[in-house]
């Protein structure tokens, strides 16, 4: 308890310090024995260690930790490309097109290589919601959120259903560990209110309490087994006037309505210590001038009103509604607003986006302590990513009993 109080006292002093005095001559180099080893988690065991590491990182390294990038196709067959790619980033996102046709052994090998080539532990992530949104669908079937929600609603024995539901989450955790994937962009915390999300079965229910219950159970089970979970899309896409894949989506409901409905699952996720929350490309009544990822007012709802202390992640820079914008400017504005991780940066854009953010820091457009705050959260999350894989991982690859209900 005394140590915790000391750390809490030191953290504000560090974050408010002048970055120019930081010692940047040493770096943290994690062990390369195995993507599944727990040694990296032990290496960042205490908060003071994270503070020490941040002080030793260059500005470029700190900015890179905030990038979740798209693995370039050439990296699968060219180690030089792969080494260069992972040297600049904090995380990688697998997409369906690049995984299609790859065996579980090939994916696991790539994940291990990336961890071994990286100076710092990597977030290795994918979208595995279930149903239509499942980047490893060719290897492992998982029911949609909608099918789970309907079964829960219909179940006479809710306790028995939840036991089976958590067993499915446990199987998925085992599969992800086998593949070297340590972060899953799920569950969807939005309410089912029609539109494309409902068509794809991405939401558990239209009832906030059902979404909160199932999402909370799923989050808790995966995180108990060492998989980081990212809930989406804050502050709730369900009541938006369109799918943000199709254009700028606006939430027309009142703030009181959002607080009493859409935010219910997010509160539950925060109660379950969810690793991260994705901000959707939404215009909200919290800030009618700016899309949520670029809105400090909207992010303050998450940080101050809901008391969330974990990772905040932007939605994909390549979403159709923002694809044509300048990505370097988007990333800069997102960081200003309070985003910790910029999602899905193409390999050929890493350098230009990093340069723009670095320039913003040097010009005092962004205070370096704003970067340090995000890197602190990132390193804190990374100490959890290499827990040993659960027992029975091979059994998890057997077809899911409910997988026919996609």
Q: Write the DSSP string, 24-90.
A: -S-------S-TT-SHHHHHT-SHHHHHHHHHHS-HHHHHHHTEEEEPPGGGGT-HHHHHHHHTT-S
Report if residue 145 sits inside a domain: yes
Range of the domain at 342: 2-11+31-397
- Is the per-residue pLDDT at 65 higher than 50? yes
Query: What CATH number corresponds to the domain at position 203?
Result: 3.20.20.300
Among 44-53, 88-97, 183-192, which is the least confidently predicted range? 44-53
Q: What is the pLDDT of residue 386?
A: 59
Shortest CA distance to 139 belongs to which of 166, 189, 112, 176? 176
Mean pLDDT of 398-405: 49
What pLDDT, on the 0 to 100 scale, is given for residue 32?
A: 26
Mean per-residue pLDDT for 166-184? 97
What pLDDT score does 243 carry? 63
Q: How much is the average pLDDT of 132-153?
A: 95
Q: What beta strand segments (E) does 154-244 contain?
A: 183-184, 228-234
The pTM of this model reads 0.85
Q: How far is Cα 112 from Cα 104, in angstroms, rounded to an integer?
A: 12
pLDDT above 70: percentage of residues in the chain: 80
Instruction: Give the pLDDT of residue 105.
Output: 97
Per-residue pLDDT tens over the stretch 369-385? 999 999 999 999 998 88
pLDDT at 26 over 50: no
Q: What is the pLDDT, as a whole number, of residue 5?
A: 44
Asked whether the beta carbons of 96 and 135 are under 8 A apart, the reply is yes
Whether 241 has a pLDDT exceeding 80, the answer reads no
**E strand segments, 64-174:** 67-70, 91-94, 123-126, 128-130, 133-134
Query: How many domains are there within the chain?
Result: 1
| pLDDT of 118 higher than 90 | yes
Is the pLDDT higher at 10 or at 176? 176
Is 17 a domain residue? no
CB atoms within 10 A of CB 123: 25
Q: How far is CA 47 from CA 42, 43, 54, 89, 337, in A?
A: 12, 11, 11, 22, 24
Q: Please, what is the average pLDDT of the chain? A: 85
What CA–CA distance (Å, rounded) separates 75 from 289?
40
Give the separation between CA 116 and CA 32, rounded to whole angstroms: 5
- 10 has pLDDT over 70: no
Provide the pLDDT for residue 127. Answer: 95
Question: Residue 352: pLDDT band by 50, 70, 90 thresholds?
Answer: very high
> Does 26 reside within a domain?
no
Is residue 403 in some structural domain?
Answer: no
CB atoms within 10 A of CB 24: 14
- pLDDT interval class at 271 (50, 70, 90): very high
In a domain, 24, yes or no: no
pLDDT band at residue 45 using 50, 70 and 90 as cut-offs: low
Residue 320 resides in a domain: yes
Q: Using an 8 Å Cβ cutoff, are 195 and 243 in contact? A: yes
Residue 19's contacts (CB-CB under 8 Å, 6 or more residues apart) are: 59, 368, 369, 372
Name the 3-class secondary structure at 103. coil
Burial class (CB in 10 A: 0-12, 13-18, 19+), 17: middle
User: Lowest-pLDDT range, 225-234, 306-315, 391-400?
Assistant: 391-400
In terms of Cα–Cα distance, which of 165, 262, 159, 273 is closest to 211?
Answer: 262
Q: Give the Cα separation of 238 and 72 in Å (integer).
A: 33
Does residue 149 lie in a domain region? yes
Minimal CA–CA distance to 270: which of 293, 246, 304, 245?
A: 304
Give the mean pLDDT of 177-181.
96
φ, ψ for residue 341 (rounded to 5)? Answer: -130, 130
Per-residue pLDDT band for 238 (boundaries 50, 70, 90) equals confident
Average pLDDT over residues 295-320: 94
Identify whether 406 is part of a domain: no
Dist. CA 104–CA 179, nearest whole Å: 6
């Amino acid at each position: 308890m005394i140590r915790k109080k000391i750390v809490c006292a030191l953290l504000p002093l560090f974050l408010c310090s002048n970055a120019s005095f930081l010692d940047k001559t040493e770096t943290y180099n994690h062990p390369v024995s195995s993507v599944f080893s727990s040694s990296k988690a032990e290496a960042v065991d205490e908060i003071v260690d994270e503070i020490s590491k941040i002080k030793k990182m260059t500005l470029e390294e700190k900015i890179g930790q905030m990038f979740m990038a798209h693995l370039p196709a050439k990296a699968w067959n060219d180690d030089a490309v792969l080494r260069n790619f992972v040297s600049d980033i904090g995380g990688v996102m697998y997409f369906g097109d690049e995984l299609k046709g790859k065996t579980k052994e090939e994916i696991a090998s790539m994940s291990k290589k990336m961890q071994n080539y990286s100076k710092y532990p990597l977030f290795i992530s994918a979208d595995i919601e279930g149903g239509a949104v499942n980047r490893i669908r060719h290897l492992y079937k998982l029911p949609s959120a909608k099918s789970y929600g309907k079964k829960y609603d219909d179940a006479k024995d809710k306790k028995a259903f939840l036991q089976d539901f958590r067993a499915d989450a446990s199987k998925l955790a085992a599969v992800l560990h086998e593949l070297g994937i340590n972060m899953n962009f799920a569950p969807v915390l939005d309410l089912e209110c029609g539109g494309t999300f409902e068509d794809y079965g991405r939401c558990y229910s239209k009832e906030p309490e059902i979404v909160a219950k199932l999402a909370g159970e799923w989050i808790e089970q995966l995180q108990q087994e060492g998989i980081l979970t990212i809930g989406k899309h804050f502050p709730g896409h369900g009541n938006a006037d369109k799918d943000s894949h199709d254009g700028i989506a606006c939430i027309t409901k009142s703030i009181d309505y959002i607080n009493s409905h859409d935010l219910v699952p997010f509160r539950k996720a925060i109660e379950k210590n969810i690793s991260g929350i994705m901000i959707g490309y939404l215009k909200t009544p919290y800030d009618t001038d700016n899309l949520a990822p670029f809105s400090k007012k909207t992010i303050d709802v998450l940080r101050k009103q809901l008391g969330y202390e974990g990772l905040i992640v932007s939605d994909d820079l390549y979403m159709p509604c923002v694809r044509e914008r300048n990505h370097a400017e988007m990333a800069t504005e997102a960081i200003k607003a309070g985003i910790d991780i910029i999602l899905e940066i193409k390999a050929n854009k890493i350098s230009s986006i990093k340069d723009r953010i670095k320039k913003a820091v040097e010009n005092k457009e962004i205070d370096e302590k704003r970067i340090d705050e995000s890197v602190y959260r990132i390193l804190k999350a990374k100490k959890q990513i290499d827990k040993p894989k659960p027992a029975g991982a091979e059994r998890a690859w057997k077809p899911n009993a409910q997988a026919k209900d996609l």
